[in-house]
Chain A
Amino acid sequence: MNLSSAPGFDELFDPVFLDRVNALTLRIAAAQKGGRLADQRTSARGQGSDFADFKPYVAGDDLRAIDWNIYRRLGKAFVRVFEERQDLPVYILLDVSRSMFVETPPRIGPAMRTVLALAAVTLGQQDAVSLMTVSDDMGTAMKNVSGKGGITRVAQTLADQVAQGRSALAGAVARLASMRLRRGLVILVSDFFDDDGLEGVLAALEMLPHRLLLVQMVRASDADPTLLPDLDGDVVIEDGERDGAGMTVTPELIARYRAAYRDFTDSLDAFARQRGATLVRMDADGDVLDQLVPVLTAGSVLP
C-alpha cells in the first residue's frame, strides 16, 4: 500500500509558524519540584520573586531574607520564603502508526505541526521536552531537550519520522507509565484508533502519574461519513494496518458507524473529564495554530 509521507524539515520549520507560536504559553497548576529553575510554579521554596510564607530564622538562613519589620514588632527574627519556579518536564507522544499516514493528505502533517507548536511553546518557557513515537512500540526520539534552540532539533526529529507499523497506543502508554519519570505533562497526539480498542488506551492513560493533554487528530468525515464522495456501493475500507474490510455501504451501516464513532468520542470526552485531562480535537483539515490558540492563550490550560 502506498502511504503518504510526513512533511519535510523545511515544511515544518516555518518561521511564520514559529512566530505565531511565541504568543502561546503552556502552564500547569503546579509542576513537581525537583527540577531546575524555570518558569513553572512548583511547591518548592527557595529562590524566586513570588512571596510564599514566613518562617522563623535559623542559623544559616540568608540574612537578606529577614523581615525586619516583624522583628521590630515582635522581637523575633522571621525570614521571608519564596516560591521557587522550576521547569516542567513535557513528554510528547506522537502516533506514527500507518493509520496516520494512510489518507491523502495524511493526518501526520497537522499532527507534527501540533507537536512542533507545543514543543516550541515548551522550549520557549525553558521547559524540557522529551519526544517519543508510538507505533508497534514506543520509541524515544528525543530526551529532555530544553532551551529555545532545541526547536530546530525537534523539527529535524519530526521530519525524520516515517510510518511504522500498527497503532499500539495502550502498550506504549503503559510502558511510559512504568518508567520512573519526573512527573510532568504528557501530550499524546494521535487518532486514538488502537488495535486494542479505546478502552485499553484509556486504561493505560489512567495509569499515568502525569498531567495529560490529549490531541485527537480528526476530520469532519469521521463524524459524518457521507462527506466522503466515494463511500457508496461496494467498498473496501483499509487503514494501512490491517486487511481491508469489504462491505456494502447502506444507510443502516452508516447509522451503525455513526453510533460507533459517537461512542468512541463520548468515551474519550468522559475520560478527559474524569481524569482532569485536556482534550483537543484537532481538525486535520484546519489550521493547527488557530485551533491551539483558544486552548493555550488562556495561560494555564491544565488544572
Chain B
Amino acid sequence: MSFTEFGWPLTLAGMIALAGIVFLLQQLRARTRVLRLPTAGLWVQALRDTPVRVLGGRFRYWLAYLLILAIALLLWLAAAHPQLVSAASGGGLQCFYLDNAALMTGGGDLARAKRALLADVRATPADRREVILGDAVGTRLLAPGESVSLLSRRLDMVSAETRPSTFATWGATADAATVHYYGAWGAARGAPQSARLRYGYLADPVPDNRGIVALGVTPAASGQVGKADLLVTVAAAHRPLPTAADLRWTENGRRITPSRVEALGDGRFLARDVDAAGEMVGVALAQGDGFAADAKAAIRVADRRPIKVALLDGTPPAVRAAVTADPSLTVVPAAEAQVVVGNPVAVRVAGRPGLMLSDASAQTFTFAGPDESQRGPLAARLDALGLAQLDAGALADALHRPVGVDVRDARQRRITAWRTIFAPASPFVQSPAMPVFVSRSIHWLGQRQPWHSFVQVGDGGDPLTASLDKDETAVSLTDRATTLAAADTSAHPAVVNGAGVWPSDLPFLLLLLAAGVLLAVEWWLVQRRVIP
C-alpha cells in the first residue's frame, strides 16, 4: 500500500500526532457534570415540559452559528483543494523534463537541478503538471494530479547516468503546452527551440573538456593467435587533442603498457597486439577535467588463446590432422584439455566437453548442451556450429543415408558425429567444410566468449546498447557529441524558475490553518460559556 499524499513516515507521524491531539481533546472535553439533587424528579418534569427545538424557532446563538458556519465553509473550501495558478505558467499541461544523462554527472549538477525542479513543480497546480525523467524511455516521474511528495521520493532514486542525452529526440515528439527543461545546455540546444520550451536549470559547461569518444577491439592484424588490436579515439573542444602519452592503459585495473601504440591522426590511436585473454582493458586520459564521464573507457577483450584439445582413442586421422593444423587449437594430454575428441567411451571417461565420433547415433550431427533446445532455430546457428558450409546432399549420396542434425539438452556440451563421415573416402573429408566444422565445433565446445569488437554508448541514438551484456563488456560513454556538448559555452536562453513563488497549495494550507484557528476560538468561547 502506498499513500499518494504522504509517505509512510509522515503518515505514521500524523497518526501518532492525531492520537495525541484526540487524547488531549478527550481530556479537555466538556464532561457532563453529575449533580445529586433530591429535586431530580422536578428537573425531569421541567425537561419534559420544555418544548423540543423546532425549525422556525427563535434563533438565539448567532455567534455560535456564524463561527460554526465559518469553520464548515473553510473546510469545504479546503476540500475543494484550491491552488494558486501562476500567470507566468500559462494554460495547458506543464511538462517538467529532468535530464539525467552524462552531462549531469558533474558534481552537484543533478542535485541542483532536482531542487529547481521541485520548487517549480510545487508552484504548479497538480492537475496541470507532469514530470518526465530523461532516461531511455522517458519515464514519467509524476503524473498529473499526483502529490509532489511522491516526486521528492522518486527523485531520490534518480542518479546521473553515463549516456548521451535523449532530450532532443524526446522534445521532437512532446505535445505538452510548455516544457520546462532541467539539464545541460549542451544537450538541450539540439532540441527544437520554441516559445513553449523553458529552462528551469542549466548546468555549467566544462570549457576545457577532453574525452575518449570511441574504443574498439579487433583480432590482431599481425595474425597472432591470442592477440588483439585496440582502437581509441579522443576528442577535445577548446584545447589540443591528447597524445598517445596522455593515455593510460589498464588491464583489470592494473596498469599496462601496450607494446606498440600508433597515432592514426585525428585523435585516433591503435594499440597493437594486446593480449586477448578475456580481460577488461581500459584506457583513460592522464589529465582529468571537470567532466569525468568521458575521461575513461574500457572494453573486455575476448579470450582468443588457443583451446587445449586432447585427441583420445577413436580420433580419425582426418580430425587429428585438422586439429593439429589449426593454430587456435593446441593438442595437450587429456588431463590438461578443455575439450576432448574420441570415441564415446573415451570422451565420457574424460568427463569434459567433447566431440564423440560414433556411428551408433540416429542423426549425423547431434549437438547437446544446457538449454540447447531452447536457443532458437537451428538454421540461425549453423555457422556457429560449423555446419554452414556443409554440402548435406553430397554427403547423403555418398553415405546412402539421410543427413540430419539434432539438438538436445544435456548437462555438458557434447557433439556426436558419425565416424563414417570422417573416413578417408568420405566427400566430407575431401571438402573444405570438414576443418571448419572441426574448428568451430571445438570452439563451441570450449564456450569461447563472443567477440565484441566495438563498444560505444549511444551511437545511432540507441542508448540501450550500453546496458546489454554488462558482464561481458564494459560500459563507457564514448560519445563524441556528448564530449563536445559538455564544453559548449555558447549563449543559452535565460533560466526561469519558480523559486520564490508561493506554493500552489498555499490557499489549501491557509484554509486548513484558518479552520484550525476558528476551532480553537470556538473551544475557547465554549469553555468560557460565551456560546453554548
* A and B interact physically: yes
Residue positions of A touching B, CB distance < 8 A:
1, 99-100, 102-104, 107, 191, 193, 195, 221-222, 225, 228, 230-242, 244-248, 250, 252-254, 256-257, 259-261, 264
List chain B residues, Cβ under 8 A from A233.
30, 33, 529, 532
List chain B residues, Cβ under 8 A from A235.
32-35
A298, chain B: closest CB distance, angstroms: 30
- The yes or no answer to B374 lying at the interface (CB within 8 A) is no
- The yes or no answer to B37 lying at the interface (CB within 8 A) is yes
**Distance in angstroms between the alpha carbons of A230 and B37 in the assembled complex:** 12
CB pair B42 A257 closer than 8 Å = yes
Closest to B40 in A: A239
List chain A residues, Cβ under 8 A from B33.
230, 232-236
Closest to A194 in B: B41
Closest to A245 in B: B44
List chain B residues, Cβ under 8 A from A234.
30, 32-33
**Distance in angstroms between the alpha carbons of A103 and B37 in the assembled complex:** 6
Within 8 A of A (CB), among B181-232: none
List chain A residues, Cβ under 8 A from B529.
232-233
Residue positions of B touching A, CB distance < 8 A:
30, 32-47, 49-50, 529, 532
| Interface SS of chain B | mixed
Instruction: Select which of A195, A228, A257 is within 8 A of B35 by beta carbon.
Output: A228
List chain A residues, Cβ under 8 A from B50.
250, 252-253, 256
CB pair A230 B42 closer than 8 Å = no
Known: A230-B35, A252-B50, A256-B50. A193 touches B42 (CB 8 A): yes
CB pair B34 A244 closer than 8 Å = yes
CB pair A260 B46 closer than 8 Å = yes
Given contacts A246-B32, A260-B46, 8 further A-B contacts (CB under 8 A): A102-B36, A103-B36, A193-B39, A228-B37, A234-B33, A235-B35, A244-B34, A256-B49
Instruction: Select which of B30, B37, B532 is within 8 A of A237 by beta carbon.
Output: B37
CB<8 Å pairs between A and B, sample of 16: A1-B36, A102-B37, A222-B39, A225-B39, A230-B33, A230-B35, A233-B529, A236-B33, A237-B43, A238-B37, A239-B40, A245-B43, A250-B50, A256-B47, A257-B43, A260-B49
Closest to B41 in A: A193
CB pair A257 B46 closer than 8 Å = yes
**Distance in angstroms between the alpha carbons of A105 and B33 in the assembled complex:** 18
Closest to A191 in B: B38
A255, chain B: closest CB distance, angstroms: 8
| Interface SS of chain A | mixed
Instruction: Select which of A102, A222, A230, A253 is within 8 A of B47 by beta carbon.
Output: A253
CB pair B30 A231 closer than 8 Å = no
Known: A232-B529, A235-B33, A253-B47. A264 touches B42 (CB 8 A): yes
Closest to A99 in B: B38
**Distance in angstroms between the alpha carbons of A276 and B191 in the assembled complex:** 114
**Distance in angstroms between the alpha carbons of A264 and B30 in the assembled complex:** 33
Instruction: Select which of A103, A242, A247, A260 is within 8 A of B42 by beta carbon.
Output: A260
CB pair A253 B32 closer than 8 Å = no
List chain A residues, Cβ under 8 A from B41.
193, 195, 239, 242
CB pair A239 B37 closer than 8 Å = yes
Known: A99-B38, A248-B532, A252-B50. A236 touches B43 (CB 8 A): no
Instruction: Select which of B37, B38, B39, B43 is within 8 A of A100 by beta carbon.
Output: B38
A98, chain B: closest CB distance, angstroms: 9
Closest to A232 in B: B529
**Distance in angstroms between the alpha carbons of A239 and B30 in the assembled complex:** 22
A86, chain B: closest CB distance, angstroms: 38
List chain B residues, Cβ under 8 A from A242.
40-41
